[in-house]
Chain A
């Protein structure tokens, strides 16, 4: 009770939840990780309140778990709190503080969602960098901080992108601004002077923001971020690219990536495409059956200056490379149009999150590798799935080149019915088996959720030891999301 009073003094009693339903809701997500109930859920409304919460937690050794998305479903286990800890739900801190058209940046708070952002940016002729059909309730800031890959590899220069700078509250309760937002002076003064707050480096000889990204809230709680935006295209030409051989599609992607042709560019299997475009869940299987097994999606955009010419030369070059690599550029495949997919990609998933449409549940395995190794991984996953009696026709595959093609995000989506206990158990076993096996094939879990953290950190003792020491600097009392990663 004393703790509740302390918390109330900071956020106000109306912004504390401890009813059984709320505690139940925040105790779990759709991952296979066992639920753990917090003691309270707090809903601060300002950075100042967040800072006070962290200071209190640091003094009283209260584990905090930050959450930014204004609703689920959540999937990775990173928001499941420490038993008896406190959830810091930042979703009410949800303003778009500033849109800077000239420097193509936007200054956002944690609770801002993709649809909210998209609508606001349109007014300035901009759009956000989108991951693959995020759910309606997904926090933009969380998506970027957690390294959700964006669809446009040519605009992904570095792992950090599209995050530029952040304000973070460290586990000590200290506030810190990273990169060129650090100073001199406060952010208002910097903006008045003409700053864009868009240089992620520093201040000085440390990239503080890199210690925050991917940290699942264990290094600090971000209260705002300045992020990159893209120009809103004036014309777009979406294509599907198909080939008899997956290897041809990969070589084709390499050719485009090297020359920075196209904007959105990724590879999916027929099942993912079907999930994306089907009007009704019951249509998914039949749509998938009619599609080629592998499809590259390529969108070529024109902007303000000579958009037609910009698109024309890229189409010409893309077509030429398609010929060289025995691929075909198509506007539709078996009744599914590329424009339809593009429309879906520009917005968050309508209604139900796309991964849940088929059976209501999905466990994704994803990691980083390089494009040329993708076939090997797919081969392994498919064979293993078959050995578990899992139908590969119901397995989603998504390959997203990142950092301009130097690596890629490779994702396998295992669909299952969460109400079916046996099926859930089977998929869980398959998921764990695959997670281990993929690591042995050199999959790199850059986002080590749940079981992956032991796998990833177990393979790199030196990094683990150093990270623990670094964590001790920014969160000496280990109050920020304890039990996650290697902490």
Chain B
């Protein structure tokens, strides 16, 4: 009996260690369930940091170099105090300049810089969030235990993902969503109409009459140093009407096998 347990244990460790470093965005390792149908703890000394190909290539060096990768086009950044112009050509540049500078459009014909329009502000904001997520994954550590399990993004997961992940343009509703999340209210409980409308290799689209969101798992690792594996969920949300949108990364975790999924941190 002991030998059998040892073999199972070794097999579990092997499975955990042999997981590819790059986790597909919408899929993950097959779930391991205990007889009680709960997520099993994987007793590994180090569950490696994994990330989506959306973040960086498969090698650790790809992740390390992600901040230095040239952007499609530079952002023209202007210092708030000196009005000095800089160019953000990489994520690293952008994050370094973001706090002290603001972006402007610089016409190709040498004309005066102009304020960004709404659409371009949204894109700039997406860039900032995406770059911050890369940094978060770079700084994450391998975990010792995992209570989240496979966590495939599907309709069942909407009953687990906290209501605080729901995109909203309203400060009032945001407060309500945070309070509801703290009480364990899930996205599906808050908005019974929400459901998956499209699944691709990169993630899922979830919609309700009010909102439209794209969700993708960007990484799994220990993001807060407690040894427990967390999941970094990208959420690009907007209304079904209007122009507002909201992009953020949510670090989700489950602190025990029977625990609920909680939001550890929001990257925005």
> Are A and B subunits of one complex?
no
Binding site for A on B (CB under 8 A): none
Binding site for B on A (CB under 8 A): none
